[in-house]
Amino acid sequence: MSGPDEDRLSPPLEHSRSIPLPRPFLPHLQVVPEDLPLSPVPTPLGRRLTDAGRFACAGLCGVSLCSLFPGEEQSSFRTGFIRGLVGWLQLSEAVLPVMEAFASGAGEEGSHSFADLLREEMALKDAAILIPQDLVSFSLRDGYYDSRARVLIRHVSGLLQVPFEELEVYEESLVKSLKGHEAEDSEQAESSQRKASRRRLKRYFLIGLAAVGGGTVIGLTGGLAAPLVAAGAAAVVGTAGAAAIGSAAGVAIMASVMGAAGAGLAGYKMNKRVGAIEEFEFLPLTEGTQLHITIAVTGWLCTGKYGSFETAWRSLRQCKEQYCLAWESVYLMELGNALVTLLNGLLNMVAQEALKYTVLSGLVTALTWPASLITAANIIDNPWGVCLNRSAEVGKHLAQVLLSRQQGRRPVSLIGFSFGARVIYFCLQELAKETGIIEDVVLLGAPVEGGAKAWKALTKVVAGRIVNGYCRGDWLLNFVYRSSSVQLTVAGLQPIALEDKRVINVDLSSIVNGHLDYMKQMDTILKAVGVKTKDCRLEDQRNMSGVFNSETMATEAGEVGGEKTPISCERNEMSESATCISSDRHSETTSSSQPDEDCLDTSVGSRGVTGE
């Protein structure tokens, strides 16, 4: 018989089924039964915030949605997200028109007021991380983690001054929790299967096993080999049935978001030739699992130290689940070796050509390439042309793989250099009208068109940042690409002249002396464009997130104000702060480092050709 005091001390069922929150916020949670599984999804924030706090949370998301995704093609996402959030926060339907107005562009100036109110909310004192965490749970409710939702959560975290690394830790713990439930359900299903098999066999043995027949027995036991069915039966039996349903829902979310039904990207390999593509496979770079993934694409290979696809990305640590795309290795090796041969063979040739021209003739040759240079370029014409075509086909195939959800229903970030960047470019073109998959993109030394019109279409596919890393003095890309294409603008040589705060142009001229340096200097380049690397300290990662993860915008400072600062960041009105990184700080590191003893010693050659 229970008295009032006993009832008061008993933990509510809804809290006992959720992830334990910090003690100051739920002091009444004293005992949680050991046989009661925990749900991976926390209690909705609407049950803990005041009316003003819930209104501010929805309002902040509505205003941010309009700021991040203003296009008409994004209106359905904005409307659907804000309507779902109003219900999730248990707000009155009367506020829905107001929130839809925020998502359509009204009240943009109120974002900081909403953020300040939320930080002062009594239930969230010193724990603003609860809001981004709750938004993650809300975004996962249908088993689909939209890349736009993650960019929004990233943005809201910045406004609330919550380090995004803390949210990534929460995402990782959520995956582990869901995987734990999945393993428990699998073990329970196997145990139930064995017990049921024994019971049925015993029953048939007692009534006369000979009358049943061997084939029927096999059929009966074979029918039990369905762990999901057994787990489903176990979920509705027993005193902890309600909690088990929550666990089963978590497993269902896991299967949808993570692509658990198949082998995922790690198990994807093209078994037969697709069109002109002969090789296409994903190689894991890390062993972790996360709610978002990163795919790196290598642009060329070279005999020796740089002969594997993973070499360039050995320091990449953008997330804990990373893959490298292995594609057309034979042709990429031919291309890399041809580039090195061309470079080494031209060093003496360029010096000899320089002696043949006077100052007057130099004015003429500034408009044309030396005949000997054009002759030497015949070495690379064929492998370059082959890789131009095959990279486009591989990019289209990559898009089809992502559309088939081999990676699950979660955000994907892409990073590539040289022809790897070209693969990504054509992948984005193929995705065209498909939104919600790609989160961030980094293209380095991309041999693709640099016109604003072509890149405008990419902004509709990518939810977050599009980073264009270029080098003005990349003479190899300048000569070879322009000689094989009629395009006058090349993304790998200049900034993209597009008025969009999501497009970030990063001048790498102080780091990259030539096209081959994209492989050799990758670690330094990744840091310069704000991508996390293996040896970064936590504070360095937070500084770099100002370029890659927060709402900042890179501009060409050399064209504004007359000061040549290759990389700069400009404050965005929707962001509390902006981080500025100049690649000048990398020049000392680059210049002081000793050249690798390999096939890529390009510093002298590139400077000689450009005449610097």
- Strand ranges (E), 269-369: 280-284, 293-297, 322-327
Q: Is residue 289 very low, low, confident or very high in pLDDT (cuts 50, 70, 90)?
A: confident
pLDDT of residue 309: 94
Total tally of structural domains belonging to the chain: 3
What tokens does 129 get?
A: 């991380």
508 vs 357, higher pLDDT: 508
Last residue of a domain, one of 215, 231, 258: 258
| Rounded Cα–Cα distance for residues 274 and 117 (Å) | 55
Q: Is residue 588 part of a domain?
A: yes
Q: Cβ neighbours of residue 539 under 8 Å, at least 6 residues apart? A: none
Residue 591: CA atoms inside 13 Å, Cβ hemisphere, count? 8
Question: Does 64 share its domain with 206?
Answer: no
Q: Is residue 487 very low, low, confident or very high in pLDDT (cuts 50, 70, 90)?
A: low
Q: Which residue has the tokens 């040589």?
A: 493
| Rounded Cα–Cα distance for residues 322 and 348 (Å) | 42
Q: Is residue 23 part of a domain?
A: no
| Rounded Cα–Cα distance for residues 261 and 229 (Å) | 15
Would you call 429 helix, strand, or coil by DSSP? helix
487 vs 389, higher pLDDT: 389
Q: What does the DSSP 8-state code read for residue 31?
A: -
Q: Is residue 492 very low, low, confident or very high in pLDDT (cuts 50, 70, 90)?
A: very high
Could you please report the per-residue DSSP string of 346-360? HHHHHHHHHHT--HH
Q: Is residue 30 part of a domain?
A: no
504: which strand partners?
A: 467
| Rounded Cα–Cα distance for residues 401 and 378 (Å) | 35
Q: Is residue 346 very low, low, confident or very high in pLDDT (cuts 50, 70, 90)?
A: low
Last residue of a domain, one of 112, 128, 162: 162
Question: For residue 102, how far is the Cα from the chain centroid?
Answer: 28
| Rounded Cα–Cα distance for residues 28 and 37 (Å) | 19
Question: Does 530 share its domain with 421?
Answer: yes
Q: Is residue 329 very low, low, confident or very high in pLDDT (cuts 50, 70, 90)?
A: very high
Is residue 227 within 8 A of residue 186, CB to CB? The reply is yes
Q: Cβ neighbours of residue 157 under 8 Å, at least 6 residues apart? A: 132, 163, 164, 167
| pLDDT tens figures, 131-168 | 999 999 899 888 889 999 999 999 999 999 899 888 88
CA-closest candidate to residue 370, choices 388, 352, 392, 393 = 352
Question: Does 101 share its domain with 183?
Answer: no
Domain that holds residue 310: 265-610
| Rounded Cα–Cα distance for residues 417 and 296 (Å) | 9
pLDDT of residue 208: 41
Question: Does 536 share its domain with 450?
Answer: yes
Mean pLDDT over the full length of the chain = 71
Q: Is residue 9 very low, low, confident or very high in pLDDT (cuts 50, 70, 90)?
A: very low
